[in-house]
Structure 1
Amino acid sequence: MNFRTILILGALSAFGPLAIDFYLPAFPAMALAFGTDEKHVQLTLAAYFLGLSIGQLAYGPVADRFGRRMPLLIGVGLFTAASLACAYAPSLEWLIGARFIQALGGCAGMVISRAVVSDKCDAVGSAKVFSQLMLVMGLAPILAPMLGGLLVNTTGWQSIFLALTGFSALAGLAVALGLPESMPAHLPRQPLAGALRQYARLLKDPVYLGHALTGGIAIAGMFSYIAGSPFIFIKLYGVPAEHFGWFFGANAAGFILVAQVNARLLAKRGPAFLLTRTVWIYLGAGLALLAVSALHTAQLWPLLIPLFVCIASLGCILPNASACAMNGQGARAGSASAMLGCLQFSVAAGAAALVGVLHDGTAMPMAMVISLCGILVVSAALLTRRIQNARALVQVQV
């Protein structure tokens, strides 16, 4: 897969994190503008998660029936229009609705970029490309909060959504001019009427489901961090909004670095092997974060160390879990990608909401949810590996 294609797919994959991370520093300003509190502003984040979960299920069957380009262009266009509506939202309710529509458009890039990789690569090749995509999309959480904080303090929170409008318009142009149809001509086009059957088959496949949940629960931990970090950094520890991006970006840099190390390690070890090892690091960091949070330290740095390790480990977990889940899906790659994304963001939305429900003015809610995700990630990965080994043993005996 050439560099231009990876760059376009990376930009499309960045729609989700960019639309989330970009406006996090604006939460206090948005609460003031709409005459409410930050807890109600967080509903715009929940609406986005909900849109991502629902929308991905629609794009999968459409991409398997009509190919990858058409639904991708429609989704990018919808994201662009909704971003503009967010910028001129007259009320919080309007903004919540526009964010939901924005997510419905943005998830097209997330679903179809995975399907394009699956069209062109095997399991190891997919894991390498997914790791490279982490480099591109990983820039979003580094640059977005920094730029978002700067825009909020200079031109207001509305400028964040205007910037998203411009970015998505450019991405749509790149797709139109530089991304050809990737679905192999010999693959049968799946009928839309069979979408529910395809999803049912995927959910009955314990290996696919196990890998999807491993990645999904890991992402849930990351979104718990995304939901809780603005309060913890800005309100609890007094980090200025314009400096929030530096702390957020440091964790994203660790994520990118580990993703690139993972791409190199894949030459010697397969994605399943690396996945079952890295989940233990995630769990250990999550439990350490919980222990530090329980101490209620006056300084921020003891909290940052286990948080950095936890987020960085996702640079290995996420591409390998996605590659294992998508391996061998063939003609139903679009549906498999859609179900993968739906499971991931459904769990993530629940975890982010749980952080808000448990909110007690400390870092404990975020730490508790992340550590719980670590326990569940290890359990899902080990159980899935055991099922794979049992299948392999049966095939050898046969």
Structure 2
Amino acid sequence: MSKKRHFQLILILGALTALGPFSIDMYLPGFEGIATDLNTTVAKVAMSLSSYFIGISFGQLLYGPLLDRFGRKKPLFWGLLVYILASLGCVYVTNIDYFIALRFIQAIGSCAATVASVAMVRDLFPVKEIPKVFSLLMLVVGLSPMLAPTIGGYVTADYGWHTVFIILMWMGIVILLASQLFLPVTSEGDPSVSLKPKPILNSFWTVLKEPQFHTYAFTGAIAFSGLFTYVAASPIVFMDIFKVGPKIYGWIFAFMSVSFIGASQLNSILLRRFTSEQLIFRALLCQVCISMLFLILALNQLLNLYSTVAMLFLFLGCLGITNPNTAGLTMAPFTKNTGIVSALMGAIQLGLGALASFFVGVFVHNSITPMVAIMVTSSVLAFIILNIGSRKLKQ
């Protein structure tokens, strides 16, 4: 594979992977405007974020068998079409309940891109290269939390939140055309893959029973729920508690993403000297220590805007190393039915992310402490699961 072709594949796969995060991050600065226009509260608008996470989690399980049965491109096409139409619907919505429902449908569409991109990585690249490829994808994906809230902040301030969804619709159209025209057919599909509920559930159970899968899928997903906690809580923390405007909020969010991107690229360098297993253990240990220090500061009311940003910056850096390595080790044992493997991994991650964002909507209102407490819980639990699972794998 030529370097030019390799770059093109990474760029398109990264765009597919970034569509979901972009759809999450870009409308965050508009929470107050949406609440005002739809006669509701910011906390109720935050439920549209939870519905999006639930939609992605459910949709992953839907697309996994479809990608294995019909190949990658057909389900990807129809999923992106659903995304485009739902984005258009969000432009004209006048009721918060309809808005929450449309965000769920938008997520169902976007997760076709997420599942297909991960499955194509497994199709196109050898096992040893997968963590490095995921790190490169993180670079492309990482641009979304840098660009999306910053663009969203300016667009919301100058043109209103409706324009954000017009932009997302056109992004969906461009990505649909690029994927259909420039991505290779990596799988023709397997007619023997059944779409009946019982065989599908059996396939998911077979994957879930694999020790390496459930060890690293759950470790990665629970650790990564700290990111979803931050994303869901950040409009409340920065705009409600610290009283920053939409534009400043966008810049803060962009700055925070530098940590995640930088760490994911550092991971590619560290993989030359350390194994993925070693990096996951050390990054998670750091994450536990940082989150506990964060909680102590929050409980003693020692946090201001700048120290909060600093602690979150360190926390997200740990995730930038953990995530590509857990993803690579989760996918590594499988050569067949990689659509189902990708779907199940994504569903676990996003399902737990939806749960974390739901807790944010319930508990995070006038204090930063509940957000940090959720982060500590997820970090410690992930570290425990990693250690228990690692011992079983060694045995």
TM-score (structure 2 length as normaliser)? 0.95
Q: CA deviation at 1:184?
A: 7.5
Structure 1 residue aligned with 2:195, among 189, 192, 195?
192
Show the counterpart of 1:352: 357
What do residues 166-224 of structure 1 show as CA deviations (whole Å, max 9, x unaligned)? 11100001001100111388x88533332111101122223211111111112211111
> Cα distance, 1:127 vs. partner?
0.4
Number of the residue aligned with 2:151: 147
Amino acid across the alignment from 1:228 = A
Distance 2:114 2:80 in 1: 11
AA aligned to 1:16 is: G
Change (3 A) 1:369 1:308: same
Long gaps (5+) in structure 2: none
The answer as to whether partners of 1:76 and 1:168 remain within 8 angstroms in 2 is: yes
Q: 2:45 aligns with which of 41, 48, 59?
A: 41
In 2, Cα distance between equivalents of 1:138 and 1:159: 23
Per the alignment, in what secondary structure is the counterpart of residue 116 of structure 2? helix
- 2:36 match: 32
The answer to whether the aligner puts 1:102 opposite 2:113 as a matched pair is no
Aligned pairs for 1:163-178 (under 5 A) are: 163-178=167-182
Q: Which residue pairs with 1:67 in the alignment?
A: 71
Deviation at 1:360, TM superposition (A): 4.5
User: TM-score of the superposition, structure 1-length normalised?
Assistant: 0.95
Match of residue 17 from structure 1? 21
How far 1:112 moved relative to its partner? Answer: 1.1
> How big is the shift at 1:342?
0.6
8 Å CA contact retained: 2:236, 2:364:
no
Q: Indicate the residue corresponding to 2:319 in structure 1.
A: 314
Query: Which residue identity is paired with 2:26?
Result: F
Specify the code of the residue in structure 2 equivalent to 1:80: I
Of residues 196, 207, 212, the one that matches 1:207 is 212
User: How far apart in 1 are the matches of 2:188 and 2:52?
Assistant: 32
Letter in 1 for 2:65: P
CA contact (8 A) 1:22 1:148 kept: yes
Aligned counterpart, 2:336: 331
Question: How far off its partner does 1:293 sit?
Answer: 1.3
| Letter matched to residue 217 of structure 1 | I
The reply on whether 1:126 has 2:134 as its aligned counterpart is no
| Number of residue pairs matched by the alignment | 389
CA root-mean-square deviation: 1.5
| CA displacement at 1:362 relative to structure 2 | 0.7
Paired position in structure 2 for 1:78? 82
The answer to whether residue 266 in structure 2 is matched with residue 248 in structure 1 is: no
User: Is 2:146–2:255's contact at 8 Å kept on the other side of the alignment?
Assistant: yes
| Residue 304 of structure 1: how far off its partner (Å) | 1.8
Distance 1:332 1:275 in 2: 26
Aligned equivalents of 2:101 and 2:301: distance in 1? 37
The alignment status of 1:299 with 2:304, answered yes or no, reads: yes
Structure 1 residues not aligned, in runs of 5+: 391-398
For residue 50 of structure 1, what is the amino acid of its counterpart? Answer: I
